[in-house]
Amino acid sequence: MRTAPARRIAAAVAVVSVVALGTAACGGTTKKSGADGSSAPAAAPTASADPSASVKKGLTIAYLPKAVNNPYFTISDGGGKKVVEAAGSTYKEVGTSSGTDTAGQVSYVNTLTQQQVDAIAVSAQDPGALCTALNQARKNGVKVVTYDSDTKAGCRDVFVSQAGSEDLGRTEVQLIAQQIGNKGQIAILSAAQTATNQNTWIGFMKDELKKPEYKDIQLVKVAYGNDDAQQSFQQTQGLLQQYPNLKGIISPTTVGIKAAAQYLSGSKYKGKVRLTGLGTPNDMRAYVTDGTVQSFELWDPAKLGALAAHTAIALASGQISGAPGQTYTAGDMGSFTIGQDSTVVLGKPTGFDKSNIGQYDF
């Protein structure tokens, strides 16, 4: 890598009550009674865990991604499948085909609870909408891991985070600032308007932009492509129509950055309007090669899915309860310690540009 920023870069199930709760949640609102907007926490993590407990076999671990047809989740959940099956357990994946079907996600959680799976690994489309359903699952003995995109901390056992959120948000700004010479209008092309992960990163981007060195950069708009290729493409087109002087776009979503690159590469803005964000090397290779994109970043989604599997199995085996400070072994990925807010961080993202993109195949 040539640039510093680029380098840093879840007993018996009370079916009736589950259905009743599911109906309430599907109505579009979440009952809020907990301090964090969650319903009464089912099981706040305690220190009661046995790190030397053996790994249970024959578990059923269910993955519920934001959307099953998003290629990013095909990679991440595939990484989870390998770990689950190698551990002698059963993997399954369920989910909606739209990154904005929050009611659909709630209904899948309720079904998995009725099926008495041992653990759910879920990437939440919305921070609060799943709380009631996830806490009902936990009351019924299901361990809940969020990965990629979190719910509220009171509604899951552990969040497996892809990278430090602050670092990600700030480095995205640093990358675009460098590429536009610290001057001009920029826009953000995000995923769903409710997405916990993107909104957290965007919050740090806005904070980074307050620094004096970015005084000549104006964030003119945050657009939402909903992790849909066509919507993301059209949103990019709309941004350029609305802001003809736009100098740069940050797209912190694999679907968004690919669609934006596709639009730019076939337009008069190619190489002129800069684009960075979070993409897979395989999606972005052609656009780095043709000069549309200089640099972007990501973690290995398969490793994120794998770590979620190890975490779900450790929880279901009683090795950890999710309390901060607990340590567990994630197979050949090594040892991980649960941090603040019961969060485990995979690691630092990798920055990609023409000098190294050839080394990656995902």
The residue to which tokens 């989910």 are assigned: 95
Question: Which of 13, 30, 66, 127 is close enough to bind ligand RAM by CB under 6 A?
Answer: 66
151 binding ligand RAM? (CB under 6 A)? no
Question: Which of 197, 235, 294, 342 is close enough to bind ligand RAM by CB under 6 A?
Answer: 197
Tell me whether residue 56 or residue 348 sits nearer to ligand RAM (CB atom): 348
Give how many residues touch ligand RAM by CB under 6 A: 14
Minimum gap (Å) between residue 351 Cβ and ligand RAM: 14
Minimum gap (Å) between residue 123 Cβ and ligand RAM: 6
- Stretch touching ligand RAM by CB under 6 A, among 66-74, 138-146, 178-186, 264-272: 66-74
Minimum gap (Å) between residue 161 Cβ and ligand RAM: 10
150 binding ligand RAM? (CB under 6 A)? no
72 binding ligand RAM? (CB under 6 A)? yes
278 binding ligand RAM? (CB under 6 A)? yes
Binding string to ligand RAM for residues 290 to 329, with x set by CB under 6 A, is what? ----------------------------------------
253 binding ligand RAM? (CB under 6 A)? yes
**Interaction site with ligand RAM (CB under 6 A):** 66, 70, 72, 123, 148-149, 191, 195, 197, 227, 253-255, 278
